[in-house]
Structures are given as C-alpha cells and as structure tokens.
Amino acid sequence: MNTNDESSQIQHKTGLSQMESIPIGKQLKPLKKYSDRGALVEVNANSKRINAIKKDNGRTNPTTQPMPRVRKDLDNLDRNTSKKRRIYNDNDDIIISTNQNNDVLQKDSPWFKLDEQDKNDPSMVYEYSDNIFEYFYKRESELLPLRNYTVKTETKHTIRSSVRAILIDWLVEVHEKFQCFPETLYLAINIMDRFLAANKVNTDKLQLLAVTSLFIAAKFEEIHLPKLAEYAYITDGAATKEDIKTAELYMLTKLKFELAWPNPMNFLRRLSKADGYDTETRNISKYILEFAFCCPNFIGEKPSYISAIAFFIARRITSKDKTWDNNFIHYSGGIDPVNDIRFQSACKQLVNEIDTPRTRLPSLKMKYNEGDPKGIHDIVLRYCTMEVDHSFSTLFAL
C-alpha cells in the first residue's frame, strides 16, 4: 500500500479531513459532573490518580489546596529572592552591586540579572537562561496556528467560536479531573488550534480531536499520564481507544511531529521571578492566562505576549506595585505597556471579554471559584467590571 492510500484510509477512519454543518449539541457529549461520574474510578482500580478523584466530592481550590505533583510545582514554590544582585544594562554589562530589591528600581534603571539567584540549583541551568528564552521567542512564532479559524475568511473551513468554547471548556474539566500539569492543557489547546487552522474536521469528530490533543500533550508533558482507556471512557462513548490511536497518528503526521512549543507557563514564571514570586499575583495571572487561551480573540497570538498581558493585568488587580520597570520590560521580551498601543488594546480587549464574555466557560469559572467573593474568578471579574465602567481610566495609569 502506498503512502497516499494509507493517508486516505486514516482520513476516512477519523473523519478529521472533512467538516459538515451539523449542530454541535447533538454530537458532542459533555463530561458529566463529578457527583455523576463515580464510575470513572472503575477504569483502573489501581490508579492512585483516579482513586484520588473518587475522594474529591467537589472542586478543589487551586490556590489553597493544590493537587499532588510528582515533580516540583514551580507555581506553588515560594522562593526568597536574593537581596544581593548585580545590575545589568541592555548590553549585559555589569554596572554595580546592590542590596536593594528589584521593586525599588526606577523606570530608567537597568535590569537585574535575576537568574543568578538560581546558581546553586543545577537543574535551573541559570547560565543558559537568556539563551533558552531567546530560542523560545524565536520558536514560538514558528508553532502558532496559521490563522484564526473562528473568523470568516476566504477559506471555507471555519468553526464558530461558541463551538470552540464548548471543546475547550470540556478540556479544562477533563484536564482538572486527570490532575495534569498546567503545561499539558496549554499544549493541548495549541495542538487543537494548529490542526483546526489547517484542516477540515467533521463536527461529530470534534470531541475526538479534543481528547486526542490532550492525549498527545500529556505524552509530551506528563511523567505519570492517564491511560488510553481513561481517555476513551471520559468521552462517554464518543471515541474508542482505536479512534484515539488512529487520530493521534493522523494529527501528528499533519503537524509534522512539532510539539516542542514554548509553553506560556515558562514566560509567566519568568515574569513572576521579576515580581519576587508574589503568590497572589501569580495565581490571578494564571486565571487570566487560562481565560485568554480559551478566548477566540487570541488564537494565533504568541504565548509570551499573552503571558505578559495576563501578568500586567494581575499586577494591576493586586495593586501592590503598578510600575512596569526595566526588569519587567527585559523579562517580558521587551514589552513596554506605557508606550505600546497594541499591547494596551489587547489588554482592554481581554478585560472587556472577562467582563462580558461572548462564550460560556462554566468549567473554567468553577475551577477558579465562581461565586466566592474571595475566589480568584470573582476578584478578577470585579476589577474588570470596574475598569470597563470607568472606560479603562486606571488600567494604564502610573
């Protein structure tokens, strides 16, 4: 059998090469709520992860009760920033040693080389941090969706933003149930967006596409990943194990096995380092970042750019320090919010979307404690509503 015949058979089996205008509600079977999904624990009785799910009678607050991890969870790691740092200018020249913290720098001050605080941790390879992120900034442009497939263009394979929202909201819930790393969710969304931007997909195969994207992402990011039977079961009969394996082969072939996408969490953690690892700001920025990736407006945008937007808004919400000094400019990849009109427009667009969302994301809101006045969702929503009501008068005020 030649390659073309084999490819044609895979396309026929998966249905990932054609799209029909069928109402999504009739084909996509949503994941049932925790209380209704006790049978999930029967998939693998020896799985500690699934047994942990069984004990969970409600949603865990990610900020106060983090899910167990097998590797260092950098998001919940509070580090004491070194008081003694060297100050560098844009030419990487040492100017002076100082005992001051980075938060007292003025706008026109040079930037601190914060990676030096990790010099005693070999796993951080601090000597190569700048080179690594320089590569990330180059690589992220190469692994973006070719177009925003939710916007009507001259091409015919377009998916409504509401359909994408259903898929991603379901992915958020499955990702949380499987207790995967944050990187896995973002990579799954990137895989799905890149595939949909270049390929037609049957509407009744969209859930297969979503679960296969998560399956591929988990293989790339996780240490102990969910089993194939669990992915098939979580679709409630919409996809079998063979369906997922066949779709995986076809999708990876179409994506040319390009999975080493610079994850937005890398950029967010780097900005958090410049902020002194403030826990409140980091947790709020994680919600805003996740919301932005669920929002169709930012399909095709660089992850470093979205991370900077999320972190900038989060620092405005916490109001601990509204300055975006040379440290943040350097560690965000050169973004200067005060003088960047495009960045300001993107921030306003995201704030407005959070205040009045065009697509429903119930799982994401519940994940971040919707209805709890002290929960992250409600804190962010109150701020965004205030900014919209006051025409963004304080969003960029110094």
> What confidence category does residue 48 fall into, taking pLDDT thresholds of 50, 70 and 90?
very low
Question: Which range is least confidently modeled, 152-166, 169-183, 212-226, 247-261?
Answer: 152-166
Residue type at position 332? S
N residues, the chain: 398
pLDDT at position 349 over 50: yes
pLDDT value at position 360?
Answer: 87
CA distance 247 to 207: 11
* Residue closest to 301 by CA, chosen among 272, 334, 264, 266: 264
β-pair partners for 126: none
Q: In what order do the strands lie in the sheet with 85-88?
A: 94-98, 85-88, 111-112
Work out the average pLDDT over 88-114: 48
Domains (range + CATH), the chain = 23-58+144-254 (1.10.472.10), 85-135 (no CATH), 264-389 (1.10.472.10)
Is 299 buried (19+), middle (13-18) or exposed (0-12) by CB count in 10 A? buried
pLDDT at position 102 over 70: no
Give me the helix-helix angle, 129-142 and 264-274, nearest 10°. 140
* Residue closest to 144 by CA, chosen among 15, 8, 305, 31: 305
> What confidence category does residue 264 fall into, taking pLDDT thresholds of 50, 70 and 90?
very high
CA–chain centroid gap for 184, Å, is 8
CA distance 236 to 216: 19
CA distance 351 to 288: 9
pLDDT at position 150 over 60: yes
* Token pair for 244: 């997922």
pLDDT value at position 5?
Answer: 54
| Cβ proximity of 314 and 288 under 8 Å | yes
Q: Report the SS3 class of residue 111.
A: strand
| Measured CA distances, 217 to 100, 149, 255 (Å) | 41, 21, 13
pLDDT at position 81 over 60: no
CA distance 243 to 288: 34
pLDDT value at position 325?
Answer: 86
Per-residue model confidence as pLDDT tens digits over 286-336:
999 999 999 999 999 999 999 999 999 999 999 766 788 888 998 999 999
**Pairwise pLDDT comparison (74 vs 131), residue with the higher score:** 131
**Pairwise pLDDT comparison (186 vs 29), residue with the higher score:** 186
pLDDT at position 376 over 70: yes
Chain position carrying tokens 């972190």: 311
DSSP, res 96: E
Per-residue model confidence as pLDDT tens digits over 189-217:
999 999 999 998 888 899 999 999 999 99
pLDDT value at position 382?
Answer: 95
First to last CA, the chain: 66
pLDDT value at position 98?
Answer: 39
**Pairwise pLDDT comparison (279 vs 112), residue with the higher score:** 279
Work out the average pLDDT over 349-378: 91
CA distance 317 to 315: 5
> What confidence category does residue 9 fall into, taking pLDDT thresholds of 50, 70 and 90?
low
> What confidence category does residue 94 fall into, taking pLDDT thresholds of 50, 70 and 90?
very low
CA distance 316 to 390: 15
pLDDT value at position 304?
Answer: 95
CA distance 14 to 215: 15
pLDDT value at position 156?
Answer: 66
Q: What is the pTM of this model?
A: 0.75
Residue type at position 391? S
**Pairwise pLDDT comparison (376 vs 107), residue with the higher score:** 376
| Measured CA distances, 391 to 175, 308, 383, 396 (Å) | 36, 21, 12, 11
Per-residue model confidence as pLDDT tens digits over 380-398:
999 999 999 999 988 888 6
| Cβ proximity of 133 and 103 under 8 Å | no
- Average per-residue pLDDT in the chain? 77
Question: Which range is least confidently modeled, 13-22, 180-189, 285-294, 386-395?
Answer: 13-22
